């Protein structure tokens, strides 16, 4: 699979030779230097960008448009600020085609699951960043999507809150059985959360390396970095990422020289 963007008579080969199979229920992270095509790849899986070459299939079906079975969660929570927390979760259900009568009850249940019971009527602007991200998680998971796409979902959180929310998200994901494709700049996070980390390189964007993370689940986010296996994989990927970033810089300097 490949993708090129054409703008102002300029062609950007965003992705080439992408051949990636993800198993049902698998948690896969995409990491790589800025501009290597992570978001573009995610948008293709979401049905928002059509590859110029090849295709994306989910469950054997070619993706041509956004599907109800696929949920997309972004870094900034993208909630409706003037609506209540509960209404934001309900909106997610509406998009997924959940009948009106069920929406409130299901949304209320999800508010409990993300530990926001009692904040149903709070407006999003009255919530902390961490609470907003919990609402976004509830909205993402409430429609029971088969596939969850996340683009740096926890990037805006402070370190402590991030750990907590990662842990909570892992628990909810484990119960959902959904497939996750997770984009992050944070290699530590990728190794801690995933079954597999896909390292991408740039110019043009491609897959540089894939590493299976053989750490048992359930995982403890505050302790996992002490695990020798976590450290081994992290260092291996860190070296590879440094190479990709250095290669990208060198090319950029050549291009501007």
Ligand X SMILES: Nc1ncnc2c1ncn2[C@@H]1O[C@H](COP(=O)(O)OP(=O)(O)OP(=O)(O)O)[C@@H](O)[C@H]1O
- 155 lies in the binding site for ligand X (CB under 6 A): no
The whole-angstrom separation of Cα 31 and Cα 38 is: 7
The whole-angstrom separation of Cα 156 and Cα 161 is: 10
Site string for Mg ion, 39-68 (x = CB under 5 A): x-----------------------------
| Closest separation in Å from C-beta 30 to ligand X | 8
Contact 204, 15 (CB under 8 A): yes
Query: Which of ligand X, Mg ion, none binds 14 (CB below 5-8 Å, type-dependent)?
Result: ligand X
Judged by beta carbon, residue 110 or residue 154, the one nearer Mg ion is 154
Closest Cα to residue 213, out of 246, 180, 242? 180
Q: Which of 28, 36, 75, 114 binds ligand X (CB under 6 A)?
A: 36
Task: Compute how many residues bind Mg ion; rule: CB under 5 A.
Answer: 2
Span 163-192, contacts to ligand X by CB under 6 A: none
| Closest separation in Å from C-beta 31 to Mg ion | 11
Kind and range of the H or E element at 29? Answer: strand 27-31
- 198 lies in the binding site for ligand X (CB under 6 A): no
Sheet with 70-74, edge to edge strand ranges: 70-74, 147-151, 179-183, 27-31, 196-201, 206-212
The site for Mg ion (CB under 5 A) is made up of 38-39
């Amino acid at each position: 699979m490949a993708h090129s963007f054409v703008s102002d008579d300029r062609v950007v080969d965003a992705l080439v030779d992408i051949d990636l199979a993800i198993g049902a229920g698998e948690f896969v992270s995409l990491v790589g230097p800025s501009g290597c095509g992570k978001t573009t790849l995610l948008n293709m899986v979401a049905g928002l960008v059509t590859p110029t070459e090849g295709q994306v299939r989910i469950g054997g079906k070619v993706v041509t448009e956004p599907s109800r079975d696929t949920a997309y969660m972004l870094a900034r929570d993208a909630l409706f600020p003037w609506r209540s927390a509960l209404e934001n979760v309900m909106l997610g259900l509406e998009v997924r085609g959940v009948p009106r009568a069920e929406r409130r009850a299901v949304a209320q249940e999800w508010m409990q699951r993300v530990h926001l019971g009692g904040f149903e009527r709070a407006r999003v602007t009255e919530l902390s960043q961490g609470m907003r991200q919990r609402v976004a998680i509830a909205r993402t998971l409430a429609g029971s999507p088969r596939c969850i796409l996340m683009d740096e979902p926890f990037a805006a959180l402070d370190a402590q809150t991030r750990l907590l929310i990662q842990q909570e998200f892992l628990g909810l994901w484990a119960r959902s059985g959904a497939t996750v494709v997770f984009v992050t700049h944070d290699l530590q996070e990728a190794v801690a959360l995933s079954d597999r980390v896909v390292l991408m390189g740039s110019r043009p964007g491609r897959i540089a390396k894939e590493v299976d993370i053989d750490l048992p689940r359930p995982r403890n986010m505050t302790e996992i970095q002490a695990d020798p296996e976590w450290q081994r994989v992290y260092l291996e990927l860190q070296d590879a990422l440094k190479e990709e970033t250095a290669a990208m810089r060198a090319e950029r300097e050549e291009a501007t020289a």
